[in-house]
Amino acid sequence: MTSAGTDGDRRHHYRTCNLCEAMCGLEIELDGDSIVAIRGDDEDPFSRGHICPKAVALQDIYADPDRLRRPLRRSGSDWQEIGWDEAFDRVAQGLATVRDQHGPDAVALYFGNPNVHSLGSMLFGSTLRRAIASKNVYSATSVDQLPHHVASRHMFGHYFLLPIPDIDRTDYFLVLGANPVASNGSLMTAPGVARRLRAIQDRGGRVVVVDPRRTETAQQADRHYFIPPGRDALLLLALIHTVLAEKLGTPGRLVDFLDGLDAVETAVAGFEPARVAPLVRIPAPEIEDLAREFAAAPRAVCYGRIGVSTQAFGGLCQWLINVLNIITGNLDRAGGAMFPTPAFDVVTANRRGKYGRWHTRVRALPEFAGELPTSALVEEIETPGDGQIKALVTVAGNPVLSAPNGGALERALPGLEFMAAIDIYLNETTRHADVILPPTTGLECDHYDVVFHTLAVRNTAKYSPALFEPAADTRHDWQIFRQLARRLATPERPFDATDPRHLATPAQAVDHGLRTGPYAVQGLSLERLQAAPHGVDLGPLEPRLPERLFTDDRRIDLAPSLFLNDLARLRELFDNADDAGRSLALIGRRDLRTNNSWMHNSHRLVRGRDRCTVMMHPDDAAARGVENGQLVAVASRAGRIEVAAEVTDNMMPGVVSIPHGWGHDREGVRLTVAQAHAGASINDVTDNLLLDSLTGNAALNGVPVTIDPL
C-alpha cells in the first residue's frame, strides 16, 4: 500500500484515472484500507480537479464480487477455478496444439480497448504477440481510429504522429462526429472538455459542431449542423474547394516542407458547395460561410472523431480534415492541430506503421501496422481452408458486444478448437473461452499513461503507484504475457529469460523511457515523478515540424495517391445517391456513465432511467406509428433487436441512434448488476460487411435499418 499525504487517520492517494482517455487526476481519501471518497485532484496540473461519475466506480471494480481473481476453466457450461500454473499450461497447450497442426496463423489474437489504458499491456503486450507470431492479429483499432493512423502514416510518415486540437488556444473549433462532452474527448486528451469549450467562447471564439444528432456538445456549441451519416467527406471537400477557390488561406511556414497542394486543387474540382449541398443538406451559402469563417479565424482547428472514422469514408474524412487544417496554416501552430511532446515517447522510428503487407484470406482486406480489420474476424473463423482461424485469445476485449455483427461472431466462437481470454470478467465474449486468465486491474496497478500523453492537449507527466496490493495469488497482465510466452517458445523462437525485455518491471521500463525521452535533459525520471504525486507540468504544445516528421524525405505529403484514388468511390455516392426511399440510418452514441461494454456492473453507473434506447425524430416515429417509450424492433441485414423508442427532435430526420456496449442478458454471463440492466446490443444490428474499404475500418455508423413498433 502506498500513499501520499496524511490527515489524522485519513490518508490521501493521488493517481491518474485510466478508464477513459482524459487522464483525470484523482484524490482518493482512505480510512485505513477503505475508500472514503474519490474526488478530482485540484492540484493535478493537467486536469485541475475535473472528474466524471466513472472515476468513483473504480472502487466498484476493485470490490466487485463478480470480478475474477483466479483462473477459470470451462467444461460445458460449468466453470471451475484452477491454479495459475495449470491455467498457463492449459492455455499454452491449447494454442500450441492448433499452431503445430495448422500453423501460427491459425491462432488469432484480439486486443480490446482497455489494453491502451494498461501500463503492463502497453509495455509488454508485444511479448504475447511475438510468442504467437500470427498474422491474424485484430484489435479495437479497426472499429475505432484506424483511419487516423492511415492518414498520419501517409501524410506525416508515422501512424502514431496524430495531430491533436490545441483547444486551449484556438479561436475556432470545428467538430465533426465527436461528442467530447459525453465521451470526455478522444484523440484529444483534455479533461474537462465542457470547461475548455466555454473558455473558447469566453475569449470570443466559436465552437461549431457537425453531427446527425444534436448532441450534448452540439447543445453547447455556437452552431450545429445536421448531416446525414457518411457524407462528411463531401462537406470537407466543399470546404476545401471554397478555401482554395477563394484563396482564403495559405499553409504559411508549412510550404517549405509541403508537397501535393496542386494535386489537392485538382482533386476537389467538381465538389463545389452548390453541388454538395443537397447531399449534405447544408445550404451552399452556409458551407461557404463556414469555410470563410474557419479560414479567417486567427487560430482554427478542425477535429473529427469516431463519427467520421467508423463510417464508409473514414479514411477520406481523416485525410481531408488534415488537408483543411494544413491549407489554412493551422497545422503545427498554437491554437491549431499540434503534435505533443510526451515524456515517454512512443513515436519512434522503429515502428512507423506499414500498410498492406498482407491481406485477409477471405475478403483481401489490408493489414495495417501488423493488424487486420476486426470486421473480417467472423469470416476468417468460419470459412474453411488453409489459414482458417482455429484458436483465439482475447485480451481485454469484448468483441461479441463491440464488433460489427457481434451476433455472428458470437455464433462463430463455439466452432473454435480452443479459446482463451485474458479478462477480468466472465462476460458475453469470455464465456466462450476454454480458460480465462484474470489479471489485476485499476487500483491494484502502477500507472503511467504511455499512450494518452502522446494525444494530450498539454505536455505533462505523472506516475501513479498501485493503491492496493493485489489480492494474494493474483497476476499482473504483463506477468501473464511472460508466462505464456515462456511456454509457447519453440526451438526456432526460444524464450530468452535473460532478454532485458523479459526482466524489466513496468516501473523500470517507464524510468528507462523517461531517462531517454525528450525531458531527460531536464532530469525527468521515475524518481522525479514519484516525488510529484500530482504530476508535473511540461508546458503547452510547441511547434514540432519539420523535425518531427517521419516521412523518408521529411516532407508532408498533402495528396497521397491512396486517398486520391479513393475519391472515385465517393464520386459514385455523389452520382448515385438516392434519398427518396432512404431507409433509416443507424448511428451510435455515448453516455457519460458508460465505458464501452464493461462498466455496467457498477450499481451507481446503471441506476436511473434506461439509457439503451433508440432515439428517433418525431416525424420518423409518427410515420411508423411509434410512440415515445414504446418497444420497437430494429432490424438490418445482420440481425434484429428490441429496444424502447425515445422520440426526440435532437435527431436528424431519417437517422436513429442506439448506444453500444449493452446486451448483457446472454446466458452464462456472470455480471449480476449488468444483467439486471441488460439492454440490447446495437452490434447485433451493425454489419461486418459495411466498411471503409480503404482502411478496413468498420462502418458502424450509417447502417440501414428498419424500425417497427411491437
For residue 70, what are the contacts with CB-CB under 8 A and spacing of at least 6?
A: 81, 82, 83, 84, 438, 473, 474
- The answer to whether 24 contacts ligand SF4 (rule: CB under 6 A) is yes
546 touches 248 (CB < 8 A): no
Binders of ligand MGD in range 106-145 (CB under 6 A): 112-114, 118, 140, 143-144
536 binds ligand SF4 (CB under 6 A): no
Regarding 232 and contact with ligand MGD (CB under 6 A), the answer is: yes
Binders in 237-276 for ligand MGD, by CB under 6 A: none
Closest CA to 291 of 327, 336, 331: 327
Question: Which residues fall within 8 angstroms of residue 289, CB to CB, at 6 or more apart?
Answer: none
For residue 352, the partner it binds in ligand MGD, Mo ion, ligand SF4, none, with Cβ less than 5 to 8 A by kind, is none
- Residues 182, 657 contacting (CB under 8 angstroms): no
Whole-number Å distance between alpha carbons of 369 and 352: 8
Residue 212 binds which entry of ligand MGD, ligand SF4, Mo ion, none, with Cβ cut-offs from 5 to 8 Å by kind? Answer: ligand MGD
- The residue from 22, 107, 227, 606 that contacts ligand SF4 (CB under 6 A) is 22
Does 144 participate in binding Mo ion (rule CB under 5 A)?
yes
> If residue 565 lies in a helix (H) or strand (E), which one and from where to where?
helix 561-576
With CB under 6 A as the contact rule, the residue among 189, 388, 459, 597 that binds ligand MGD is 597
85: left (phi over 0), alpha (psi -120 to 50) or beta: alpha
114 contacts ligand SF4 (rule: CB under 6 A)? no
Report, in Å, the least distance between residue 310 CB and Mo ion.
Answer: 9
**DSSP per-residue letters across 118-160:** -HHHHHHHHHHHHHH--S-EEEGGGGTTHHHHHHHHHHHS-TT
Q: Which residue number, 144 or 620, has a Cβ lying nearer to Mo ion?
A: 144
Q: How far is the CB of 59 from ligand SF4 (least distance, A)?
A: 13
Q: Nearer Cβ to Mo ion, position 109 or 526?
A: 109
Our CB check for ligand MGD shows the closer of 590 and 617 to be 590
CA atoms within 13 A on the CB side of 63: 10
Helices 561-576 and 273-280 meet at what angle, rounded to 10?
Answer: 70
230 forms part of the interface with ligand SF4 (CB under 6 A): no
Binding segment (CB under 5 A) for Mo ion, from list 93-101, 137-145, 219-227, 327-335: 137-145
Between the alpha carbon of residue 35 and those of residues 99, 228, 533, the distances in Å are: 46, 47, 18
The item of Mo ion, ligand MGD, ligand SF4, none sharing an interface with residue 55, based on CB under 5 to 8 Å by kind, is ligand SF4
The correct pick among 322, 375, 388, 398 for binding ligand MGD (CB under 6 A) is 398
**Mask for 294-323, x = binds ligand MGD (CB under 6 A):** -----------xxxx--x------------
Q: Residue 351: left (phi > 0), alpha (psi -120 to 50), or beta?
A: beta
- Smallest distance, Å, CB 59 to ligand MGD? 14
Which of 374, 634, 378, 461 lies closest to 45 in space, CA to CA? 461
Q: At what angle do helices 273-280 and 284-296 cross, to 10 degrees?
A: 110
Query: How many C-beta atoms surround the C-beta of residue 487 within 10 A?
Result: 18
- Residue 683 binds to ligand MGD (criterion: CB under 6 A): yes
- The smaller minimum CB distance to ligand SF4, of residues 240 and 456, is found at 456
Q: Which is nearer to ligand SF4, 52 or 237 (CB)?
A: 52
> How far apart, in whole angstroms, are the C-alpha atoms of residue 604 and residue 594?
11
Question: Running DSSP on this structure, what letter comes out for residue 684?
Answer: G
Interface positions with ligand SF4 (CB under 6 A): 17, 19-20, 22-24, 51-52, 54-55, 184, 191
Interface positions with ligand MGD (CB under 6 A): 20-21, 112-114, 118, 140, 143-144, 176-180, 182-184, 186, 210-213, 215, 227, 229-230, 232, 305-308, 311, 395-399, 402, 422-425, 427, 439, 441, 477, 587-592, 594-598, 660-661, 682-683, 686, 700-702
Interface positions with Mo ion (CB under 5 A): 144
